[in-house]
Amino acid sequence: MKTAVVTGSAGFIGARVAERWLSEGWRVVGIDCFSEYYDPRLKRDRARRLASHDAYVEIEDRIERPGLLSEVFGTYRPEVVVHLAAQAGVRYSIEAPRSYLDSNISGTFELLEAARAHPPAHMLLASTSSVYGANTEMPYAETHKADSQMSFYAATKKATEAMAHSYAHLYRLPMTMFRFFTVYGPWGRPDMALFKFVKAILEDRPIDVYNHGKMKRDFTFIDDLVEAVDALAACTPVHAVGEFDSLSPVAPFRIVNIGKSEPDSLGGFITAIEDALGRSARRNLMDMQPGDVPATWSDTRLLAALTGKCPNTPLSVGVPAFVKWYKDYYGVA
């Protein structure tokens, strides 16, 4: 039986990745601290779904606690590690930056130290499209320079990329970094736009629309993302697959975008929500929030070359799937 460690296993993405591998017969060791950044009940309910599998091991603790991850790696000897635990959110990183330092930087350091002591066959670490920051050349490619982060959240994730590369080089640890692009879908986070918009519209409240709606995002459906993570777990960074490959010249390390490579306007996103709900939104037009960017767009040639497929679920399918889950979960008629 293959063993994987998933940090952030009660999170939106972590729970879905863990569920996928449990369904494939893996043993999954999940680690989560159930922080109160958003409603812990949602996290507990995700974790309960995982606990229904006999091969699931749950550890409730903080990844930044010294020695925890080394003990977990030494006990379970995972072949694959997926590091998804992090403090997320652009706006919150302005309000509470220390939580990003603790979770994103210190937590990733503990993970790398654990891998140095007990090397997995492949480590997969989550980054974000936010690291592209002030870049204006689109679509964003993994080989583009990304040194102008616009938020402390993005800065901490860029730092984890550099940290991971150094350990990959020094200790020959195979690592793949993911840059996720606006992931959405059932069981999503309450701090994200889709969740907030659906909730507000159902409660007949106006929605806050930043930059007066002049925004574009490369919305990526959760099922597509999980499919990509699963496929990339088997793609150890050893051989380059083209001139667009981000494979390091000095380490078994690469960065891979996971996005739809087809940005949608914020207006189109809101229209898809209105169509799924059968209700109109009242828009509260606002200025751009600090640290945000007007557009994201992923170059997914590398993902396609490595896995043979890319996310392609349209908003017309993904948004109704979320709305159905939301209504079922919260008992909304």
**Residues recognised as catalytic:** 153
Paired strand residues for 284: 208
Residue 37 corresponds to which tokens in the numbers above? 């950044």
Give the C-alpha separation, 42 to 115, whole Å.
Answer: 30
Phi, psi of 197 (to 5 degrees): -65, -45
The amino acid at residue 15 is A
Cβ-based burial of 234 (10 A; exposed 0-12, middle 13-18, buried ≥19): exposed
First-last CA distance in the chain: 43
Give the C-alpha separation, 205 to 280, whole Å.
Answer: 11
Cβ-based burial of 79 (10 A; exposed 0-12, middle 13-18, buried ≥19): middle
Cβ-based burial of 253 (10 A; exposed 0-12, middle 13-18, buried ≥19): buried
Paired strand residues for 220: 183
Tell which phi-psi region holds residue 204, choosing left (phi > 0), alpha (psi between -120 and 50) or beta: left
DSSP-derived secondary structure for 45-56: HHHHHHHTSTTE
Residue 216 corresponds to which tokens in the numbers above? 């574009």
Three-state DSSP class for residue 206:
coil
